[in-house]
Amino acid sequence: MTIELESIVRTESTEPKRISLAVTGMSCAACSTRVERKLNKIDGVTASVNYATGVATIDAVGEITAEQLCAEVDATGFGASPMTDRTEPVGSAPEDAAVRDLLRRLVVALMAFFPLADLSVMFATIPSTRFTGWQLVLTVLALPVVVWSAAPFHRKAFANAKARAASMDTLVSVGVLTATLWSLDTMFLHPNRSGPAPDGVWAAIWASDAIYLEVAAGVTAFVLAGRYFEAKAKRSAGSALRALAALGAREVTVLTRDDREMRVPIGELVEGQRFVVRPGETIATDGLVVSGESSVDASAMTGESIPVDVHAGRSVIGGTTALTGRLIVEAAAVGADTKLSGMIRLVEQAQTGKARMQRVADRVSAVFVPFVFLITAATFVTWLITGSGAGRAGAAALAVLVVACPCALGLAIPTALMVASGRGAQLGIFIKGHQTLEATRDVDTVVLDKTGTVTNGAMSVVAVIEHESFDTAAVLRLAGAVEAASEHAVAAAITRHARDLIGTLPAVESFEALPGLGARGVVDGHRVLVGRSRLFDDQGIGIPPETNRAVRQQERSGRTVVLVAVDGTVVAVIAVADTVKETAAAAIARLHRLGLRVMMFTGDNAYAAQSVADEIGIDEVVAELLPEGKVELIARMQEQGRRVVMVGDGINDGAALATADLGMAIGAGTDVAIAAADVILVREDLGAVADAIELAHATLRTIKGNLVWAFGYNVVAIPVAALGLLNPLIAGAAMAFSSFFVVSNSLRLRRVRFDR
């Protein structure tokens, strides 16, 4: 495992500029659609408003400011403010306050509703129980609910009316006020409906003595209960992002010029400044270890539980935790330029966009509320025309009014995306947008780059075949000492292996690098030569037949081979190769179980590529490819109807990642690869590829379930209510439950498990 994650690209663009607003007061998808339309009417503005997250994402051209955009939102009857910088740890006090306010109003509503409902039923079914002032008792119980508890609905309905619009709050407010005013009129002004009555339909209305105070209170209580649990669930859905933001340190111990330690707020840390990390502390920002050694827990960032050892010269990521020794780190990036900030932006980007299916749901929600009012009026009139009394007609119309719920439509998709992106972040999978999830729907082919993706991307000694007069330790002691003075990748691998095996290496004298061939020097009085077979031919050193056979055998396995000679005699063969990641074989097996065709593209030679493929179970390999060759092959497969996932990490993978239907970049890869990819896999475990695909599939299943419920609920519930088969109280409870069901179903993604 490694935590050397390269920078996540943040494209700074002045035209257009992106502005994010926190929008308050939205109660359903119709609200977000209205705000979105208002913003999109501004010249140079392209806006997307997400109801679930309460965020308006605006791409604006020209001199448009956040304040101007907020004013436009305010004009629609909602509130807006520029988003706080989510790259810093943020609190949730406003959200907590809103949840507490809903709870207080709900408690009052429930305390009044139950006695009100009991008394209303008793007075209606047993008129003899009515006593003097019974109307006042019902009124005293009902008014705190319909006035104070329902105040948020009334305020929003009034704001909607001023903006000549309607929303879910309008439906609730009109329903509650209609039931209340009708009941008060019946009890106090026309208790017996005496006096001349109009002719025709209105006679039935005039003759009714139905009282709906318990309905008004019950609907208020049920809707508040739905809003409360919905708000709690939405906070849970966004918990992963808040947890990610909270990883950042708030204070840091910096070193002054005279090496004194000083504790300062994280905002005062500047690039290039050195800071101290003690055991148990969070590493304040991305940087390079100057001195010290420690095990670092990066599980919150990468999803991997195994700590990694770091020492001088190794890079570290802000937000990870030092477990053991004390480190001195030089800050390489601060603030919005850190990897943690980049990850948070990726999660936010995935949560604030809109899927294609969401836009369809939004269009339905935009006309839904006016449609409900028309159905309500038609239901009331139809029941009266058929000869039913006003009580029956009013009950049916009221049921239609309160059972309708566009909220579920607005929450069905964004809550699932919100939870999925958060769950992905916990697993080290960062999804750039909703298009990524949609792109996984039909993928059938996974193309893997070899070096750095399937393999570790670093040369390692895989075999030492020594002459009988030398043991492995003796060979590596002499060869490692010579290669320690070289900068070649093969030399570095040999030196590292030698030091791991025997520790400190002796000094080399008369060192000479032989470019393209090897190196030589004197170690402990012995002349040591390390290099390719050609070097030995040039030096006139004979290579025994058995050594030649060993060289050919290793080369057929795709390994790089060097020979070691001591005092003019060949004593060993050292084979070096880029080793396969430990999890690669299991990951390939998982991809096969998902029914995916797995291929490997590489610029390496055919021997090396086939050796790796055989080791991990890949059936199809294309080797010795230039970057443009990868692009051509992917394009050709797409023309054949294949849906391709490309996984890579290098500069030469950028074009292929962009060409594929879905690009995945290994997190330790280059900026080019990360910028071109749709998904960033922070974990170097290749199993993250299968995790990302399974997470996307689970999210799509959840979205489908949510949409089936959201559309099906309204398709069934409204006709049932219009036919008079649904009590208004049950209608209110069903409406509140529909939104809660959608959000709760989405929350199941937090516990999604994979076939590992």
Give the active site residues: 449
What are the tokens at 723? 């036919």
Phi-psi region of 457 (alpha: psi -120 to 50; beta: other; left: phi over 0): left
Phi, psi of 64 (to 5 degrees): -65, 135
CA 575, 579, 582, 584 torsion: positive or negative? negative
In what side-by-side order are the strands of the sheet with 662-666?
Answer: 429-431, 679-681, 662-666, 644-648, 445-449, 597-601, 620-622
In the numeric block, the tokens 């308006």 are attached to: 56
* φ/ψ bin of 258: left (φ > 0), alpha (ψ from -120 to 50), beta (otherwise): alpha
Closest CA to 604 of 652, 532, 568, 537: 652
Map tokens 């009950």 to a residue.
395
- For the beta sheet containing 518-523, the strands, ordered from the edge strand earlier in sequence to the opposite edge, are 455-466, 569-580, 560-566, 526-531, 518-523, 509-514
CA of 385: how far to CAs of 49, 50, 372, 438, 554, in Å? 43, 43, 20, 49, 93
State which amino acid sits at residue 708. Answer: V
Cα(609)–Cα(589) distance, rounded to whole angstroms? Answer: 18
Measured CA to CA, the distance from residue 397 to residue 382 in angstroms comes to: 10
Residue 167, classified by CB atoms within 10 Å of its CB into exposed (0-12), middle (13-18) or buried (19+), is buried
| 338, 302 Cβ separation under 8 angstroms | no
Burial of 195 (0-12, 13-18, 19+ CB in 10 A): exposed
- Helix or strand or coil: residue 343? helix
Spatial separation of the C-alpha atoms in residues 301 and 684, rounded to whole Å: 12
Question: What are the tokens at 70?
Answer: 């907020």
Residue 3's closest CA among 687, 691, 685, 683? 683
**Amino acid sitting at position 267:** G
Matching residue, tokens 């594929």: 660
Structure tokens at 431: 């999804």
Residue matched to tokens 């649990």: 229
Contact indicator for 447, 600 with CB cutoff of 8 Å: yes
**Between the CA of residue 438 and those of 417, 425, 486, 661, 706, what are the distances in Å?**
11, 18, 50, 10, 16
Q: Following DSSP, what letter does each residue of 123-160 receive, concatenated?
A: HHH-GGG--TTHHHHHHHHHHIIIIIITHHHHHHHHHH
User: For residue 372, how far is the Cα from the chain centroid?
Assistant: 35
Amino acid at 107: V
> Sign of dihedral through CA atoms 349, 353, 357, 361?
positive
Residues in CB range of 402: below 8 A, 6 or more apart? 171, 172, 175, 219, 223, 728, 731, 732, 735
The residue behind tokens 């601060």 is: 334
